[in-house]
Amino acid sequence: MNRKWLVLTPLAVFLLLCVFLFKGLFSDPRELQSGRVNQALPAFDLPDLMEPQKRWTNAEMQGQKYLINVWGTWCPTCIAELGYLTELRERGVTIVGLYYEQGYDPDFGDSFNLGDLQQEVTDMLNRAGNPYVFNMLDLDRQFILDLGVSGAPETFLVDENGTVLVHHTGDVNPRVWRAKFAPLMGE
Amino acid sequence: MIPELGYFSLTIAMVLCVLLFIFPIWGAHTGNLRLMRAAPSLAVGQFIFVLLAFAALIYASLTDDFTVAYVAYHSSSTLPWYYKITSTWGGHEGAILLWLVMQAGWTAAVALLSKSLPWPLRARVLAVLGFLAVGFMLYTLLMSSPFDRLLPYYPVEGRDLNPLLQDPGMIIHPPLLYMGYVGLSVSFAFAIAALLTGQLDNLWAKWSRPWTMAAWGFLTLGITIGSWWAYAELGWGGWWFWDPVENASLMPWLVATALLHSLAVTEKRGIFKSWTVLLAIAAFSLSLLGTFIVRSGIIVSVHAFASDPDRGMFILAFLAIVVGGGLTLYALRAGQVSSEGRYSLFSREVALWLNNILLVVATLIVLLGTLLPMVHKELGLGSISIGEPFFNQMFTYLIVPFALLLGAAPLLRWKQNKAKQLVGKYGLGIVIAVVATAAWLYGSYDVVKPVTYMATALAVWIIVMSAQDLLLKTSQAGSMKRLGLSYWAMLLGHVGLALVIMSVALTSAYSTERDVRVLPGEQVSLGGYDFRFDGVKVIRGPNYTGHAGVVTVFKEGEQETVLHAEKRRYDIGMQFMTEAAVDGELSRDLYLALGEQLSGGAWSLRIYHKPYVRVMWLGGILIALAGFVVLFDRRYRRRSVKEAQA
């Protein structure tokens, strides 16, 4: 290589690095990128939390834009966002609850009482607001795993074709809604 | 009033620094000696005003002036006085102010100790340092003043200093590290000044060398003490975490080490000129980059400082100007430099060239490992993390050729050596390293892993070759007294590194630990020692309460020592801190950390037996000493004598 070009290399490398440092300044290092975005929603076939004989699958949700909200009564942040989610429901947003039961692990032979859980959820939703059209219960957590959920609350935006548009970790609040969801809702 | 005076003196200091930049650079450009002559007084002047500003912050902290936001957030009235002083660099704003003090100090030192330099070079060096100071002062005054008030509503008590930082290691670690970082700005200034004057000859290398050595010595000491602090304070016996912030200090160190060696070649043989300049620019650039990484919050790290994009923007812009400017100048000027000397394959030149290559490769590995996760994410490829195994593996590969070369190089002559003679020189060392290490390790341990054996043998090889070289050079010089201090410094540095390699190898391979549940009176054995848990007593410090687990240590039935492993709760922040109890000897550390209280009067206790871990810091200190010993070498002393007469 020509010496003139050789001595330019350090500068070029440095400038390239600066571009990344600049971009890095404006992104949150703690935010993990989801592998699910722009992918099809994984297949699910789950019972309704309140009426376990009723089952929900991808086919039933086809053709509408909706949110899936992973939550649990044991998670304070989930409770905190119920109010705002309810407000969204009143504005016409369809929100499906995906209930994450933390205390139960089938591998350890834990016992589980559906009746108690239903009562607890009903009480909570009466108190804090009910944003959900319905709640699904994923007891063996297969769907939750497929979605790549790392903790509750997490919220997914799914479009008419069943493609995931947004995977948000943490609570949904007006700021997050405006920045991440609203542009894709056609609002 | 005092804090306002501090802010005001900093403003004055900045005005002086602006002049320190403009006068000499203009003077050197137009050949105006009067303008150039103003530089040293300006340099000393700004140092005095920065010191006043720093004193003002210390005063505010010592007098518990919680109307000052910085003091309210980083100190408290119950903090012992010495931690009140160190709290002035325990937070972001104060740390930057400390950086400024160091910057101003180095600048003043250069101004006072560079009297025999030709004026155009001296003026430009000081101008570059003035420019750097302006950047940092602007940042302090505009974006991160430690003198801001919390008026009219101020707290009656401060939030206390982070308990992690309430440790003697933390008193000296940041200042030493900053001395190193900032000291490298002097090498940078010399390189830029040499590029500006267009005289990339042996002279600038000769002048830049002692400054680089001193800065490197401080950096080494800072890193060593940082490692010791992490070991003693974080409570799980680790001494290096490959944390981005640690990497940020390791990168400039690696490049500065390469620079030291390259400077020697440039000074003595007149080759590697443009490479040396590039290293000098790179060493300080990496210091700045490290600051950017730590201060901008761009990377998640255990050293969680407040992240603020505006501050990040400023530092990035400053980084772009300083480093981008330096590298542009390099691209314009360095292409014209040509080397004079000639040398063959078996020569010291080639050995040092390889040393540089290996050190730069090591730096690139750390740089990549630190920044790749961020780059990967910004490219939209998803989040990845690069951790300890990657770095450990890479450094294991690199240390082998590096250590082999390090043992061999001092015995090589400049220009060329005959291959046949080399066999005679090295044969004995190889045999001793292989045999003695085998005898030692297989004699002491049941299992010896190949990697442990190899690393230990490399360390022994370096020590044997250093001894052989010392004998040879002594006989050549006639007596040991005739050997220069820079030669002793080299030996110290090399043997120090050998000790570090040996310690890392042995402590990684043979450390043992136990996590136990103990009732008072129970006994646990580990590494040939018996630990009797005598119970827990309540302790009360100036700003914390807690428990101390009392453990009596026995070896073969005889009492060895009594250790107090503490668990403290700091009154103000309510944080829990584990204060490990360490009984240290060169050959082993016994390290105890008290865990949680369990049911039935039992406690959880973690016990570590870490062979030779202490040797690592001893090695680090020896390496650092090398940087300071060389400053007393005759050739630098003679210069100061001449100055005194002049």
Q: What is the DSSP string of B349-362?
A: HHHHHHHHHHHHHH
Alpha-carbon gap, residue B98 to B89, rounded angstroms: 6
- Helices and strands per DSSP (H, E), number in chain A: 7, 7
Q: What is the pLDDT of residue A30?
A: 54
Minimal C-alpha gap between B204 and chain A (Å) = 20
**Hey, of A4, A7, A17, A23, which one would you mutate to test binding to chain B, going by the most B CBs within 10 A of its CB?**
A7
Kindly indicate whether the ipTM for this predicted assembly is greater than 0.95, answering yes or no: no
Quick check: helix, strand or coil at residue B164? helix
Q: Does residue B383 sit at the A interface (CB-CB below 8 Å)?
A: yes
- Chain A positions touching B281 (Cβ under 8 A) are 10
Minimal C-alpha gap between A83 and chain B (Å) = 30
Q: What is the pLDDT of residue B167?
A: 81
Burial of A27 (0-12, 13-18, 19+ CB in 10 A): middle
- Chain B positions touching A20 (Cβ under 8 A) are 371, 374-375, 378
Q: What is the pLDDT of residue B383?
A: 67
Q: What is the pLDDT of residue B1?
A: 82
Q: Does residue B375 sit at the A interface (CB-CB below 8 Å)?
A: yes
**Hey, of B364, B377, B379, which one would you mutate to test binding to chain A, going by the most A CBs within 10 A of its CB?**
B377
Q: Searching chain B, which residue's CA lies closest to the CA of residue A4?
A: B335
Q: Does residue B319 sit at the A interface (CB-CB below 8 Å)?
A: yes
**Hey, of B288, B293, B298, B360, which one would you mutate to test binding to chain A, going by the most A CBs within 10 A of its CB?**
B298
Task: Kindly state the DSSP code that residue B513 receives in the 8-state scheme.
Answer: E
Alpha-carbon gap, residue A60 to B185, rounded angstroms: 66
Alpha-carbon gap, residue B427 to B434, rounded angstroms: 11
CB contact under 8 A, A11 and B328: yes
B586 with B612: CB under 8 angstroms?
yes
Minimal C-alpha gap between A25 and chain B (Å) = 6
Residue range A104-155, pLDDT digits in tens: 765 665 667 888 888 889 998 888 889 999 999 988 788 888 888 877 788 9
Alpha-carbon gap, residue B387 to B243, rounded angstroms: 8
Alpha-carbon gap, residue B241 to B227, rounded angstroms: 9
Of the partner residues B278, B331, B378, the one whose CB lies closest to the CB of residue A27: B378
Q: What is the pLDDT of residue A144?
A: 86
Q: Does residue A22 sit at the B interface (CB-CB below 8 Å)?
A: yes
Of the partner residues A3, A8, A30, the one whose CB lies closest to the CB of residue B300: A30
- Chain B positions touching A29 (Cβ under 8 A) are 297-300, 374
Of the partner residues A21, A26, A35, the one whose CB lies closest to the CB of residue B292: A21
Alpha-carbon gap, residue A44 to A141, rounded angstroms: 11
Q: What percent of chain B has pLDDT over 70?
A: 94
CB contact under 8 A, B299 and A21: no
- Helices and strands per DSSP (H, E), number in chain B: 18, 9
Alpha-carbon gap, residue A106 to A95, rounded angstroms: 28
CB contact under 8 A, B375 and A20: yes
B140 with B93: CB under 8 angstroms?
yes
Q: Searching chain B, which residue's CA lies closest to the CA of residue A32?
A: B383
Q: What is the pLDDT of residue B459?
A: 95
Q: What is the pLDDT of residue B579?
A: 86
The structure tokens listed for B270 are: 């007149």
Q: What is the pLDDT of residue A59?
A: 86
Comparison of pLDDT for A1 and B196, the residue scoring more: B196
Task: For residue B491, give the H/E element and its range.
Answer: helix B485-510
Q: Does residue B238 sit at the A interface (CB-CB below 8 Å)?
A: no
Q: Does residue A20 sit at the B interface (CB-CB below 8 Å)?
A: yes
Q: Does residue B324 sit at the A interface (CB-CB below 8 Å)?
A: yes
The structure tokens listed for A25 are: 């300044």
Q: Does residue A25 sit at the B interface (CB-CB below 8 Å)?
A: yes
Q: Does residue B299 sit at the A interface (CB-CB below 8 Å)?
A: yes
Ramachandran angles phi, psi of B577, nearest 5°: -130, 135
Minimal C-alpha gap between B6 and chain A (Å) = 31
- The stretches in chain B having pLDDT less than 50 are 301-306, 640-646
B584 with B231: CB under 8 angstroms?
no
Q: What is the pLDDT of residue A28?
A: 59
Going by C-alpha positions, the residue among B98, B78, B79 that lies closest to residue B88 is B98
Tell me the residue type at B44.
Answer: V
Q: Searching chain A, which residue's CA lies closest to the CA of residue B367?
A: A17
B232 with B580: CB under 8 angstroms?
yes
Distances (CA, A) of B402 to A103, B217, B407, B449: 54, 20, 9, 20
Alpha-carbon gap, residue B453 to A183, rounded angstroms: 61
Distances (CA, A) of B527 to B26, B35, B206, B531, B579: 68, 68, 51, 10, 22
Minimal C-alpha gap between B334 and chain A (Å) = 7
Q: Does residue B350 sit at the A interface (CB-CB below 8 Å)?
A: no
Q: Searching chain A, which residue's CA lies closest to the CA of residue B326?
A: A11
CB contact under 8 A, B300 and A29: yes
Residue range B285-338, pLDDT digits in tens: 999 888 777 766 565 544 444 456 677 788 889 999 999 999 999 988 887 766
Minimal C-alpha gap between B378 and chain A (Å) = 7
Q: Searching chain A, which residue's CA lies closest to the CA of residue B307?
A: A25
Going by C-alpha positions, the residue among B615, B591, B609 that lies closest to residue B456 is B615
Q: What is the pLDDT of residue B574?
A: 75
Q: What is the pLDDT of residue B458?
A: 95
Longest dimension (CA), chain A: 78
Of the partner residues B309, B327, B334, the one whose CB lies closest to the CB of residue A14: B327
Q: Searching chain B, which residue's CA lies closest to the CA of residue A24?
A: B298
**Hey, of A11, A32, A167, which one would you mutate to test binding to chain B, going by the most B CBs within 10 A of its CB?**
A11
Q: What share of chain B is helix, strand, coil (3-state, %, to 5)?
A: 65, 10, 20
CB contact under 8 A, B300 and A4: no
Q: Does residue A4 sit at the B interface (CB-CB below 8 Å)?
A: yes
Alpha-carbon gap, residue B400 to B395, rounded angstroms: 9
Say which residue the tokens 């030493």 belong to.
B176
CB contact under 8 A, B324 and A14: yes
CB contact under 8 A, A10 and B327: yes
* Residues facing residue B577 across a β-bridge: B568
- Chain A positions touching B377 (Cβ under 8 A) are 24, 27, 33
H-helix segments, A129-169: 142-147
A92 with A102: CB under 8 angstroms?
no
CA dihedral B179, B183, B185, B186 (to 10 degrees): 150
Quick check: helix, strand or coil at residue A28? coil
Alpha-carbon gap, residue B290 to B292, rounded angstroms: 5
Model confidence at A32: pLDDT above 60: no
Alpha-carbon gap, residue B192 to B639, rounded angstroms: 23
Going by C-alpha positions, the residue among A106, A129, A105, A103 that lies closest to residue A116 is A103
Q: What is the pLDDT of residue B268?
A: 84
Tell me the residue type at B489.
Answer: A
B462 with B401: CB under 8 angstroms?
no
Q: Does residue B171 sit at the A interface (CB-CB below 8 Å)?
A: no
Tell me the residue type at B603.
Answer: W
**From the CB of residue B89, how many other CB atoms can be counted at a distance below 10 Å?**
27
Q: Does residue A32 sit at the B interface (CB-CB below 8 Å)?
A: yes
Alpha-carbon gap, residue B186 to B116, rounded angstroms: 16
Q: Searching chain A, which residue's CA lies closest to the CA of residue B278?
A: A10
B159 with B73: CB under 8 angstroms?
yes
How many alpha carbons lie under 13 Å from residue B207 in its C-beta half-sphere? 24
